Amino acid sequence: MQKLKIGDIIIDVIQKEIKNIHLSVHPPTGRVRISAPSRINLDTLRIYAISKINWIRKHQKKMRGQERITPRDYIERESHYYLGKRYLLRVFEEEAKPKVILRHETIDLYVRKNSNKKKRQDVLEEWYRNNLRLIANEFIEKWEKIIKVRTNEFGIKRMKTKWGTCNQKAKRIWLNLELAKKPIQCTEFIVVHELMHLIERKHNEVFVALMNKFMPQWKHYKEELNKFPLSHETWDY
C-alpha cells in the first residue's frame, strides 16, 4: 500500500480498477484513505488530497473527540452498555450457576463467590453473545429474503478491527460481539452490509448502489455507529 504525507496527515492510497476517487476518514483515530483508479498518479492524488485538507481535519477532530469506553473491571456500579443503553452493573455472589438478568436500569451479574475478573467477563460476554445471536439471526432471515441471498452460516466473535466480515466463497458471516452494546439498528446495518458482500465483494460503486437500493438510510446508521461511545480498541468496516 502506498502512502501520502501532507503535513502531519498520513494517507493510505489504494489503487484499483474503479472509476472515481473516494476519500474517507475512519474512526476512531481518524485514519485517512484514498481509493483511486489505477491510472491516476500519486502527484495528482496529492493535489486532490490537499484540496480536501480542511474536510479531512474537520472529520478527524470530530472522531478524536468522541467518547470512549475504558476497559471494564466487572465490578459493582460499573457502567455497561446493551443495545445502546447504559446500565449499571450489580454483582451478586452465590453458589449457583452463573447468570445475567437485565433489569430496567441495571445488569445483574450472578457469579460464584470469589470469582475473578476473567470469569465475570466470560459470563457477561456469553450473555451478550447469546442475545446478539438471536437478534442477528432475525435480521439475517429478514434480509436474505429481501436481497435474495443465502448464507451457509454465521457466527459471533470478538474482533479488534472489524464490525463484521464476510467470506463470499464459503457464504459465511462473522459479527463482532461488541455490536451487542450498540443500538439495534446498527446491528441491522452491519448484517445488511455483510450480506451485500455475497453479491459484491469490494466496496465499489456497485456495492454502494446496492446499499442505497436496499437500505437507503444506511449512511445514517453508519454515522450513528460512529458517534456511539467507542471501545478502547479500534474498529473498522
Looking at residue 232, its pLDDT comes to 43
* pLDDT per residue as tens digits for the range 207-228: 999 999 999 999 999 988 877 6
Q: Is residue 234 part of a domain?
A: no
Task: Report yes or no: 158 and 188 within 8 Å, Cβ to Cβ.
Answer: no
In this structure, are 137 and 33 located in the same domain?
no
* pLDDT per residue as tens digits for the range 81-137: 999 999 999 999 999 999 999 999 999 999 999 999 999 999 999 999 999 999 999
In this structure, are 157 and 189 located in the same domain?
yes
In this structure, are 50 and 83 located in the same domain?
no
Side chain identity, residue 149: V
* pLDDT per residue as tens digits for the range 163-194: 999 999 999 999 999 999 999 999 999 999 99
Overall number of domains in the chain: 2
Which of the listed residues 64, 93, 116 is the one where a domain comes to its end? 64
Q: Is residue 72 part of a domain?
A: no
Task: Report yes or no: 177 and 157 within 8 Å, Cβ to Cβ.
Answer: yes
CA distance 237 to 172: 16
Q: Is residue 70 part of a domain?
A: no
Q: Is residue 236 part of a domain?
A: no
In this structure, are 60 and 90 located in the same domain?
no
In this structure, are 220 and 184 located in the same domain?
yes
Report, in angstroms and rounded to the nearest whole number, the Rg of the chain calculated over CA atoms.
20
User: For residue 186, what is its C-alpha cell?
Assistant: 446498527
From the list 157, 158, 151, the residue with the least C-alpha distance to 137 is 151
Residue 33, domain extent: 2-64
In the chain, alpha helices (H): 42-51, 53-64, 117-147, 184-196, 205-214, 218-227
The count of C-alpha atoms lying within 13 angstroms of the C-alpha of 148, restricted to the half-sphere facing its C-beta, is 1
